[in-house]
Amino acid sequence: MRLWNSYPKWPWKHDDDIRKYVDVPDWWLVGYEEVRGFLRGLTKAQFSSVGKSAGGRDLSVVYYGPEKPERTLCVTGGTHGTETEGIASVTNIIKLFESGADLRGKKWPAFQRVAKRVGFYLMPLYNPDASARSPVKSYVGMPIDLKDHSDGVHHLHIGFWKNGQLPNRKRIFAPWSKDSDMTGKLDRVGYLGQRFNDAGRLINRPRSRKKSMAVETMQMLKYLGANKIDCYMDLHSHSSPPWLGTCPEAHHAGDYEQQSKLFDLACKMTQKSGGPELEKGWQGATSWYNSHFFPANLGIYAFTYEAMAGFKGNYPAKTPFEEIWLANAYNGMYTILGLAQALLKVPSPWK
Ligand SMILES: [Zn+2]
């Protein structure tokens, strides 16, 4: 296990102390150590593990639901470590299933009802190596010039070299190539970004239909298959309003008609349960993402969710921070609820 310096000389243009972004509400439970401690304290969860991260950290999953669920849903947070919105959604759902209320004390009877039929495999930290080295716990209020790709949050997200320069962003966001990973270049890295595991592998860019260079994703493929999980959902954040995306037909080995039906139903049921009107995204077939890779290999349903991150500029300037955190955690929870309800209306891909 490698310990990284999470406070290198930060090439941050703003008159703003990056260290303040660990100040979050108590119920915003997203830090690596805190989440590990929280998991250790659970008494009703069934624990399992996908395996180990590149840095040797456990890929823990907690299960809540019936012994013989009608459908199963796996939700992963923290795939990109500083996108903590998804971690907050998952830890709040865990607390809800554990104690009857989320970390703020809110009850969700509809969630409790659906968990009598749907089994939830909850993984707050898909990329624990990144979460462990993250210097921040939230994006809320963080300055960023979204048009300037060398600004603010981008340093956190893709990291920087020892000279303070950003790695080639186009390469990192393009389809996987040998040059898009940081493997073999780690001694030149000043701060390893949140898209990578400790081996410098891009966590969410499989290289092909058959192979991901990230050990987390290859182990997850086995785990989803071994547990015959019906649906996979990966949680992220950026600048769109709450967004639900699905892979193209070319990246789906299962019943794409049912995947599309589930997509429509999930959006409708999310809104009906009190959640946001989701923006729908059909992702292209030029790049592989985990939410393409798993359905391509297993024929299961899969989605990517993006919360609207709390960077400056995403919300009206006077929006109280608490309101942003709430929207970030709860919109994700409502979407997971809507998806679980919708899942009962389509056949299991394993039948
Ligand atoms: Zn992301």
**Å from CA of 184 to ligand 1 middle:** 23
**Å from CA of 97 to ligand 1 middle:** 26
**Å from CA of 285 to ligand 1 middle:** 18
**Å from CA of 159 to ligand 1 middle:** 14
Query: For 267-323, how does the pLDDT look when each residue is reduced to its tens digit (9 = 90+)?
Result: 999 999 999 999 999 988 899 999 999 999 999 999 999 999 999 889 999 999 999
CATH homologous superfamily for the domain 20-71+83-336 = Zn peptidases (3.40.630.10)
**Å from CA of 124 to ligand 1 middle:** 14
**Å from CA of 241 to ligand 1 middle:** 14
pTM, two decimals, is: 0.97
pLDDT at 4 over 70: no
Q: What is the overall mean pLDDT for the chain? A: 94
Residue 2: band (very low, low, confident or very high) from pLDDT cuts 50, 70, 90: low
Question: Tell me, what's the pLDDT at 5?
Answer: 67
Q: Which long-range contacts (CB under 8 A, 24 or more apart) does 14-19 make?
A: 14/143, 14/152, 16/142, 16/143, 18/135, 18/136, 19/135
Please give the structure tokens belonging to residue 303. 């989605």
**Å from CA of 256 to ligand 1 middle:** 24
8 A C-beta contact, residue 136 and residue 82? yes
Please give the structure tokens belonging to residue 11. 């090439």
Query: For 107-123, how does the pLDDT look when each residue is reduced to its tens digit (9 = 90+)?
Result: 999 999 999 999 999 99
**Å from CA of 77 to ligand 1 middle:** 10
Query: For 187-209, how does the pLDDT look when each residue is reduced to its tens digit (9 = 90+)?
Result: 999 999 999 999 999 999 999 99
**Å from CA of 82 to ligand 1 middle:** 9
**Å from CA of 66 to ligand 1 middle:** 31
Query: For 211-269, how does the pLDDT look when each residue is reduced to its tens digit (9 = 90+)?
Result: 999 999 999 999 999 999 999 999 999 989 999 999 999 999 999 999 999 999 999 99
CA distance 212 to 208: 7
Residue 8: band (very low, low, confident or very high) from pLDDT cuts 50, 70, 90: confident
For the chain, domain boundaries: 20-71+83-336
Arithmetic mean of pLDDT, 3-32: 85
Question: Tell me, what's the pLDDT at 251?
Answer: 97
Smallest Cα–Cα separation from 295: which of 305, 304, 286?
A: 304
Q: Does 24 or 12 have the greater pLDDT score?
A: 24
**Å from CA of 303 to ligand 1 middle:** 13
Neighbouring CB atoms inside 10 A of 98's CB total: 17
**How many whole angstroms from its chain centre is CA 161?**
25
Q: Is the dihedral of CA 171, 177, 179, 182 positive or negative?
A: positive
**Å from CA of 157 to ligand 1 middle:** 9
Task: List the beta strands (DSSP E) in 11-87.
Answer: 46-52, 58-64, 71-76
Query: For 142-195, how does the pLDDT look when each residue is reduced to its tens digit (9 = 90+)?
Result: 988 777 777 778 888 899 999 888 899 889 988 999 899 999 999 999 999 999
**Å from CA of 76 to ligand 1 middle:** 11
**Å from CA of 130 to ligand 1 middle:** 12
Q: Which of 8-17, 46-55, 159-168, 234-243 has the lowest mean pLDDT?
A: 8-17
Q: At what angle do helices 290-298 and 215-226 cross, to 10 degrees?
A: 40
Question: Tell me, what's the pLDDT at 83?
Answer: 97
**Å from CA of 245 to ligand 1 middle:** 12
% of the chain surpassing 70 pLDDT: 98
**Å from CA of 201 to ligand 1 middle:** 14
Give residues whose Cβ lies within 5 Å of ion ligand 1: 80, 83, 236
pLDDT at 9 over 90: no
**Å from CA of 217 to ligand 1 middle:** 15
pLDDT at 3 over 70: no
**Å from CA of 113 to ligand 1 middle:** 30
**Å from CA of 116 to ligand 1 middle:** 31
Q: Does 322 or 13 have the greater pLDDT score?
A: 322
**Å from CA of 67 to ligand 1 middle:** 32
**Å from CA of 109 to ligand 1 middle:** 30
